[in-house]
Amino acid sequence: MLDLAGDVDQPPVADVLIENGRIAAVGAAAAERSVREAGIKRIDATGKLVIPGLVNAHYHSHDVLLRGCYEQIPMDIWGFYSFPANYSRRSKEDIRLRTVLGAVECLSNGITTLQDMVTIVGPDREHVDAVREAYEACGARVVLGLQISDRAAVDAVPFWRDMPDDVVSQLPGAADPSKLQALIEDLVEEGGTERLNWALAPSAPQRCSDELLAWVAGLSERRQLQVFTHLYEARSQAVLARLAYPEGSLLAHLDRFDLIGPRLTIAHGVWIAPDEIDRFGAAGASLVCNPMSNMKLLNGFAPVVHYGRAGATMGLGCDNCSCSDAQNLFQSMKMFALMWGFQTAAGEGDAAREAFRAATLGGAKAIGLEGEVGAIRPGYRADIVLLDLDMPSYRPLNSAIRQIVYGETGTGVHTVIVGGDIVVEDRRHVAFANEQLKAEAEAALGRLKDEIAGVNERNERMLPQLLDAYEKANRYPLPLDRFSVRGGEPSSGKGSRS
């Protein structure tokens, strides 16, 4: 059984006792009770590596059906392909299906907890119910936030306002968020369940008005809710900060609303300046790094080592299916560890350990579940994954943690337990048959196909202007370079606080 506080190369054999959905005892104490007490159901983990369920700390379930549709596209332009508002209203059944498809993929890859920043068009209460029902049926643990924003696209991306009128007129305008705000308040009031927690999800500071950010800050404070937002994902956002915000900083803008603290979790944080990282880390906020998405959308590399040295908590995510294409934290862990290596002095070790920590304990803290998930320790939720040590990547077993981070692809995930319930057994989800899901996914794609083609056609016409604006932002001088895997940072902590 692998625990970050123990031997992570040759983890010891240990019994784990689960009671009422939580870990009751580990090791000798668990073994003693299992002998003493009759009627305890046993799961034989011989030949398996027992690890805590992984935490996918940044994800959006709304575009699962668009996986594999696109090559690398600049982030700002990708939204015109992927965002739900580009498509007609989906049925409740389609919302449920896409949520199931994403969650079953997560579970099959050893992800037991996910953070879903879902966009609900309408806003349609029925669709929220479909999302909740889907998660319940799959058995996944979820921290759910309905994505909200209200500013016009031309105010959120630099140089878009300068595009020809016929392009600007097709961009989403300002929106009235009041219905969505009311729905979110209702949902938060209703509260969560054992497997579902609510959070707030303002899409990004530049996409939200001051009034909306003030509302987020107030509700977060009143209900002690985690706030998830996208910050400095693309280079263009660092340019926008300098062009349109008084202090030249989106982080400073969030600070105006008292939003920087342990309840703030940002996704990406790529194009952040060194002094902003120090401010962010000192405030006890969390970063969720999405390395595969950051490369697919041409955003670059987050300066993860600087974040760590500044005291920020770090989690890992897989982001959307239409930009990262796989809900697979093994990919994220490997990329994170490789980036970590580039950003530390040669010879400094522990990249694999840092990656595994981000995928478990770090991610748990980042989504507000510290002490609940991310480790197999007494009192924690019984969210456990059994990896099959008979897979070729574990022969021979030199270091469990390195072979997980650098060698595991997800094919070794054999059994997945959430809250003490087996949800994946012998690589198959216990409630959803692969054949059925495959047929339903193909049918749903059939209902969407013409619209995808229509959206592609529309975007094709706007593409030259959008690419011009993208290049303009790319040429705007910035004092940092996140296209470098070293993160445009000194290599051994110079410029950081500690």
Q: Which residues bind Zn ion (CB under 5 A)?
A: 267, 319
Residue among 216 and 387 whose Cβ is closer to Zn ion: 216
Residues sharing a CB contact under 8 Å with residue 53, sequence separation 6 or more, in sequence order:
110, 111, 112, 113, 141, 373, 383, 384, 385, 416, 417, 418
Instruction: Report in angstroms how near the CB of residue 79 gets to Zn ion at its nearest.
Output: 10
Question: Which pairing describes strands 54-59 and 111-118: parallel, antiparallel, or unpaired?
Answer: parallel
Instruction: Report in angstroms how near the CB of residue 157 gets to Zn ion at its nearest.
Output: 16
Calculated CA dihedral for residues 473, 477, 483, 484, nearest 10 degrees: 180
Residue among 79 and 341 whose Cβ is closer to Zn ion: 79
Instruction: Report in angstroms how near the CB of residue 407 gets to Zn ion at its nearest.
Output: 28
| Cβ–Cβ under 8 Å, residues 25 and 1 | no
Among 299, 296, 290, smallest CA distance to 271 is for 299
Distance separating alpha carbons of residues 19 and 381, to the nearest angstrom: 10
Q: Where are the alpha helices (DSSP H) in 248-360?
A: 250-255, 274-282, 291-296, 304-309, 329-343, 351-357
- In 331-451 the beta strands, taken as DSSP E runs, fall at 384-388, 413-418, 421-425, 428-429
Instruction: Report in angstroms how near the CB of residue 137 gets to Zn ion at its nearest.
Output: 24
Instruction: Report in angstroms how near the CB of residue 203 gets to Zn ion at its nearest.
Output: 9
| Cβ–Cβ under 8 Å, residues 158 and 474 | no
Bridge partners, 143 (sequence order): 115, 197
| DSSP annotation string for 137-189 | HHT-EEEEEEEE--S-HHHHSTTSTTS-HHHHTTS------HHHHHHHHHHHH
Among 310, 287, 408, 425, smallest CA distance to 358 is for 287
Instruction: Report in angstroms how near the CB of residue 317 gets to Zn ion at its nearest.
Output: 8
Instruction: Report in angstroms how near the CB of residue 101 gets to Zn ion at its nearest.
Output: 18
Residue among 267 and 423 whose Cβ is closer to Zn ion: 267
CA distances from 278 to 127, 285, 299, 344, 418 (A): 40, 11, 21, 17, 36
- In 373-450 the beta strands, taken as DSSP E runs, fall at 384-388, 413-418, 421-425, 428-429
Residue among 212 and 385 whose Cβ is closer to Zn ion: 212
Instruction: Report in angstroms how near the CB of residue 219 gets to Zn ion at its nearest.
Output: 21
Residue among 61 and 220 whose Cβ is closer to Zn ion: 61
Instruction: Report in angstroms how near the CB of residue 455 gets to Zn ion at its nearest.
Output: 19
Q: Nearest 5°: phi and psi at 285?
A: -85, 170
Residue among 17 and 54 whose Cβ is closer to Zn ion: 54
Tokens standing for residue 348: 């400094």
Residue among 267 and 292 whose Cβ is closer to Zn ion: 267
Peptide bond into 123 cis (omega under 30): yes
Residue among 323 and 466 whose Cβ is closer to Zn ion: 323
Instruction: Report in angstroms how near the CB of residue 116 gets to Zn ion at its nearest.
Output: 10
Residue among 213 and 267 whose Cβ is closer to Zn ion: 267
Residue among 63 and 440 whose Cβ is closer to Zn ion: 63
